[in-house]
Structure 1
């Protein structure tokens, strides 16, 4: 353990009170994709107060930023915060199901939680900065604000705009969210492609539907038939796309496609057809070619639905995120630091909170309520072996997350630290609110955040002070990208103008787009 790493770890421990408070503040904001105004401003102010130069609205995204701090000539190390939550997950940091004060359950909230993801990363970068100053270590830290991760929003746009081109290495952290990726790093099987697309249907000439030579431009009575309209087209699209999976991919291939209705209607009377409707699809799959294949199928369905329902249609891009790329040198160094720090340890206050959740759900509170795996290390090769057991040999990537954009610009590690999760009795599944509450309570979430910050700081310092490590990681990066190179796929503007859910200020105060109490 070097003196610089000792300084970094001590800095994290000394500042955990602040980091905990920052984490809870972002958690309480609960803002969702493309509308994280308070969260972004919070990070910008915080980073400036810590001496970083901050570009707001980077790459044309109002809730993104790019912050840099330099201590002289040296390597540039990249990292990032995410801070978007999810609609419909508004939960108080309490051991019972309840929305945050003044809001309803349909408002946004943190599930992963990105609040701790971002502050764990920032805590690591601030600790690395303190060690660089104390030990005169040259180099540059580049820290990004990455909005809209839940729709793979900002990173493909930042990548295409060149923001990652000057990185020498990058560190990506995520709270554990699925076995066996807990207290480990990704090895060979990284996340796959994420494509997000919105199909928009418009009924812009309803008067021409079934029109004949003697047709009146205005129906003579309210009993006259009207054009089906945009909502009908959207429903046709929804039904058709449900059958897509079995027709476009080989049996056994692991992928998912989910949809969400963004807007519909704009009709002012029952005999006026809906003018516009939008439905979003998100595809998680292994390869770019497979994602493109699915998009072609969706295009066919959109065309058929539009023709059937007297509409026109357009496709809008939300995300084109590339698959991940391994870097064993970065993975080994990061996991060695995780071994030095150790897995998170939860104290009695955290256990009491967890047991209160179990009692609220009618369970017998457990002496040790937490999953054993969140306090154990998993070597990356073992995690890889377990992942491969459930995948076809031909499938190279699994699940999706847009950290993968960094992988094509610099050697990148994907770090997972155990987040609080409860042991379930046989046959029982915890409701989502329980996991969300654990992510907002300091005693339950801070152990994960502290470990993550220490490991991130130590890995950044390795990249800054160990030329052999950085040279090995970059040589591996060059070799892998020479074998397969995927340039940025983003060829679209930031999709800011759609009806993304958000908090609004009204005469009633701050509210969600779905009224807080059903009023």
Structure 2
């Protein structure tokens, strides 16, 4: 039998192909539910490797799974590939400058082009290793859409896509390296469209005949602003106007729409806060004699940590070491960090376990594994949360961008195809594939992770944030078209 080092050698040998895959997805960024190009590129890879592909999970055209292996535990790798609106950026540019070859205007400001390709690299490498050594184990890769909004994995989870998985692993590009759940707790969230319909009228001649939908939307926002004083400090509410009533001020707006996102520490707390937001919207409609329609768009649970898997992954990370950056990588990163507020840069270094005045601008170390009691609150969210309540799940952050780089920014996009990003992707694939191999070859480790998960979810059962019978937006749109 070959050693674990052979698995890592295999990953390094395969890595250039998957770097090319991530680069191709960076070149063709697509938004949530529209990631068709990325899906086809991923499926082309897994079909060549002999995986069996299942498309249209939960009725979503850009959600799929790919599996290989006949027996043994089901070990899943989670991939993402959606981009963000308005973040086209030239590679390596140190100021905002759209990529002239980018025809969509979108960009990968959260590194999902790397995330999907890196998770797939881990899956392919593990599958080859198991086959070569005649080891049992079913390797499954999930292509998951719409993490940035509407929570693709949550709809997949509600459809039962992860019910037979024994353990799941994934990673995320970041400004530092470490086990994700020890870096911070994520929030549960829900998002919905609030559509107000009123009556158009001449704003000067006959305003009394009109009923302003825009007034209703603005009153909703005012009410929610008052609500902020009376909600937990850890909760978050965000909004964006998707219809501001048109461009003619002399017409009473007959339509208006606001897109809201509500976050809280747990699904029950999020649902309670969301109901208060809905009540405010109903009050705004009542005050303006307009009609309100609420369109649920998506939601996700908070991440449930698994200490057994965290410790296993951290042991692998300690053995592998940090991302192997060289002097050229550090020099390029320094140019990006130079644009970061000095206090923010110092905070980023300290958060990564570095000295505040450390001259390095890429984190290449391995921080200590934090105790569960010291998990700080990360005010972001991830639909990995729903998977984690269904099966034991663990994630690694791998240092991909210069310290202090803001998430969802042009700076993040600009670093997405640099050598440092490729090294981080290979590093993450190595850590999660090696940890997954331990789960296959050490049944007691997997059993312990599942026992911990069972104990926690027995005491605190999973609350699915997707209302029963709710279709994912693409499936809903397809059903409407069919009707």
Shared fold (TM-score greater than 0.5)? yes
| Residue in 2 that maps onto 1:51 | 50
| Residue in 1 that maps onto 2:161 | 163
Whether the 8 Å contact between 1:68 and 1:141 is mirrored in structure 2 is yes
| Residue in 1 that maps onto 2:310 | 331
| Residue in 1 that maps onto 2:212 | 229
**Structure 2: how far apart are the matches of 1:436 and 1:33?**
17
Q: Secondary structure at the match of 1:324?
A: coil
Q: Secondary structure at the match of 2:54?
A: strand
| Residue in 1 that maps onto 2:333 | 354
| Residue in 1 that maps onto 2:266 | 287
Cα deviation for residue 231 of structure 1 reads 2.6
**Structure 2: how far apart are the matches of 1:399 and 1:156?**
16
| Residue in 2 that maps onto 1:434 | 411
Greater Cα offset, 292-301 or 2-11? 2-11
Q: How does 1:303-318 map to 2 (within 5 A)?
A: 303-318=282-297
Compared CA separation, residues 497 and 261, structure 1 to 2 (3 A): farther
**Structure 2: how far apart are the matches of 1:481 and 1:431?**
33
* Residue number among 361, 365, 376 corresponding to 1:371 in the alignment: 361
Compared CA separation, residues 381 and 145, structure 1 to 2 (3 A): same
Whether the 8 Å contact between 1:176 and 1:419 is mirrored in structure 2 is yes
**Structure 1: how far apart are the matches of 2:205 and 2:292?**
28
Cα deviation for residue 484 of structure 1 reads 0.9
State the Cα deviation string for residues 355-397 of structure 1 (Å, max 9, x = none).
555689999xxx996436x211112225x56544xx6xxxxx8
User: Does 1:485 pair with 2:461?
Assistant: yes
| Residue in 1 that maps onto 2:392 | 411
Cα deviation for residue 95 of structure 1 reads 2.7
Whether the 8 Å contact between 1:152 and 1:401 is mirrored in structure 2 is no
Cα deviation for residue 312 of structure 1 reads 0.7
Whether the 8 Å contact between 2:337 and 2:404 is mirrored in structure 1 is no
Give the alignment's TM-score, normalised by structure 1.
0.81
| Residue in 1 that maps onto 2:196 | 201
Larger Rg: 1
| Residue in 2 that maps onto 1:458 | 434
Compared CA separation, residues 432 and 17, structure 1 to 2 (3 A): same
Which ranges in structure 1 are unaligned for 5 or more consecutive residues?
208-218, 392-396, 500-519
| Residue in 2 that maps onto 1:92 | 90
Whether the 8 Å contact between 2:239 and 2:260 is mirrored in structure 1 is yes
Q: Secondary structure at the match of 2:397?
A: strand
Whether the 8 Å contact between 2:336 and 2:402 is mirrored in structure 1 is no
Which ranges in structure 2 are unaligned for 5 or more consecutive residues?
343-356, 478-483
State the Cα deviation string for residues 87-114 of structure 1 (Å, max 9, x = none).
122111123331111458x921111211
Q: Secondary structure at the match of 2:165?
A: coil
Compared CA separation, residues 418 and 162, structure 1 to 2 (3 A): same
Q: How does 1:221-260 map to 2 (within 5 A)?
A: 223-225=205-207, 226-249=209-232, 253-260=233-240
* Residue number among 75, 78, 84 corresponding to 2:76 in the alignment: 78
Q: Secondary structure at the match of 1:301?
A: helix
Whether the 8 Å contact between 1:80 and 1:145 is mirrored in structure 2 is yes
Compared CA separation, residues 486 and 14, structure 1 to 2 (3 A): same
User: Does 1:115 pair with 2:113?
Assistant: yes
Whether the 8 Å contact between 2:190 and 2:262 is mirrored in structure 1 is yes
Greater Cα offset, 10-19 or 346-355? 346-355
Whether the 8 Å contact between 1:351 and 1:368 is mirrored in structure 2 is no
State the Cα deviation string for residues 196-242 of structure 1 (Å, max 9, x = none).
12211122x558xxxxxxxxxxx8x9722241432332222223222
| Residue in 2 that maps onto 1:214 | none
